Amino acid sequence: MSKKPIILGIESSCDETAVALIRENNEGKPEILSNIVSSQVDIHKEFGGVVPELAARAHIEKIDLIAKKAIYESGVSLNDVAAVAATAGPGLVVCLSVGLNFGKAVAASLEKPFIAVNHLEGHALSPKLNSKINYPYLLLLISGGHSQYLSVERLGKYKRLGTTIDDAVGEAFDKTAKLLGIEFPGGPQIEILAEKGDPKKFDLPKPIINKGGCNLSFAGLKTAILRITKNIKSEKDKYDLAASFQNTIEEILYKKSKVAFKEFININGDKEKKFVVAGGVAANKKIRKILTELCYEENFQPIFPPLNLCGDNAAMIAMVGLEKFKKNQFDKLDFPTKPRWQLDEKAVFLKGAGVKI
């Protein structure tokens, strides 16, 4: 019986220190052996956002322990690892270098191949950890630093169809939460508050909703919310604003995804109509619901990662590592950190299209 490769994945691009081990099982499916994520939310809470130096220090303090825990929980020995995959970008350079150098050191000491991973490719492949998905597929990547539509042609080959021209969706959630006095990161809290409010109470702007193809914009939304929060008088107003915000985001993503569907079909034909939604914001249940409904209307297959794999994690980094391993795509130990690293290298650089700051 041939030995199935075990991949060690490492992630430290922002405020999560994460290590995971995955293995391909005998049916060719990836199997998560361990997946440890250590969040730094408590460290950054009092500053209302991620402080790079504090994040880097926490990664340095934690990474050893998290790696030991991941190996222990996986039940395999470090010597069984076939290759080490670590995030090289995009992200905060001081954070990236911790996980990247740790990964290189482990690979060198084990004399095993090293694989440098694009964090965004990790999100793009995250649903493959629990469902078989053939290329090509349409991807909506929505997280704290990115919002983009991509045609995923194959491993390492992406065509950007649209991107945010200002803020990312997760950033809009977090900024709205901050204006409502909710602790960082407030995105998930907005979803909860929104359930108690009236989604039609405030008419919020939907920037570039009818133009710009499937590009996105959220900055005008933040300005409108700032103005409204100044007149908020009751808890009910707060719930109504959260609900109106959530509803506006749903409407924007519904409409823009419909445009992206057309662009995807123009490129790939109408035989492979699969729509993957990944990244931290893909954990939002109402966004999942509305985009699932759109898929049924337009005959696309909706695919979401499980909730625990939407946010940053190392299993998705190991997943990219596994696909690259099978294609013998390895990197040298002098691979640099790439704080700005777009999936579609040919696309014009825009904030939110491959940078997490």
Asked if 143 interacts with Zn ion (CB under 5 A), we say: yes
Which residues are bridge partners to 151 per DSSP? 138, 159
| Cα 84 to Cα 318: distance, rounded to the nearest angstrom | 8
Among 16, 171, 312, 344, binds Zn ion (CB under 5 A): 312
Distances (CA, A) of 25 to 114, 306, 314: 21, 19, 18
- How buried is residue 88: exposed, middle or buried, by Cβ count under 10 Å (0-12/13-18/19+)? buried
Does the footprint of ligand KG4 cover residue 187 (CB under 6 A)? yes
The DSSP result for 324-357, as a single string, is HHHTT--B-TTPPP-SS--SSTTSPP-TTSS---
The one of ligand KG4, Zn ion, none whose footprint includes residue 245, by CB under 5 to 8 A per kind, is none
The rounded distance, in Å, linking the Cα atoms of 284 and 289 is 9
How far is it between the farthest Cα atoms of the chain? 69
| Interstrand relation of 6-11 and 16-24 (parallel, antiparallel or unpaired) | antiparallel
Q: Is residue 305 involved in binding ligand KG4 (CB under 6 A)?
A: no
By CB under 6 A, what part of segment 108-147 binds ligand KG4? 143-145
Name the residue nearer to ligand KG4 (CB basis): 11 or 24: 11
Task: Output the smallest distance, CB 351 to ligand KG4, in A.
Answer: 13
173 makes contact, choosing from Zn ion, ligand KG4, none, with CB < 5 to 8 Å by partner type, with: ligand KG4
Min dist. Cβ of residue 80 to ligand KG4 (A) = 29
- Distance, in Å, from the CA atom of 241 to the CA atom of 237, rounded to the nearest integer, reads 6
For residue 228, the minimal CB distance to ligand KG4 (Å) is 19
Q: Which of ligand KG4, Zn ion, none lies near 15, with the C-beta cut-off 5 to 8 A by kind?
A: none
Least distance (Å) between residue 278 CB and ligand KG4 = 8
DSSP 151: E
Exposure string over 252-283, b if 16+ CB within 10 A, otherwise e: bbeebbebbbebbbeebeeebbbbbbbbbbbb
Q: Which residues neighbour 64 within 8 Å (Cβ) at sequence distance 6 or greater?
A: 102
Which tokens in the block code for residue 86?
């670590």
Q: Using the rule CB under 6 A, is 279 a contact of ligand KG4?
A: yes
Q: Interface with ligand KG4 includes 312 (CB under 6 A)?
A: yes
Classify residue 316 by its DSSP letter. H
Among ligand KG4, Zn ion, none, residue 187 binds (CB under 5-8 Å by kind): ligand KG4
Spatial distance between the Cα atoms of 319 and 323, rounded to a whole number of angstroms: 6
- When the beta carbons of 228 and 355 are compared against Zn ion, the nearer one is 355
Q: Using the rule CB under 6 A, which residue among 34, 97, 257, 284 binds ligand KG4?
A: 284
Binding of Zn ion by 17 (CB under 5 A):
no
185 interacts with ligand KG4 by CB under 6 A = yes
Q: Tell which positions 328-357 bind ligand KG4, by CB under 6 A.
A: 356
Decide whether 143 or 246 has the Cβ nearer to Zn ion.
143
Smallest distance, Å, CB 204 to ligand KG4?
Answer: 16
Binding site residues, Zn ion, CB under 5 A: 143, 312
Residues that bind ligand KG4 (CB under 6 A): 14, 143-145, 170, 173-174, 185, 187-188, 191, 279-281, 283-284, 311-312, 356
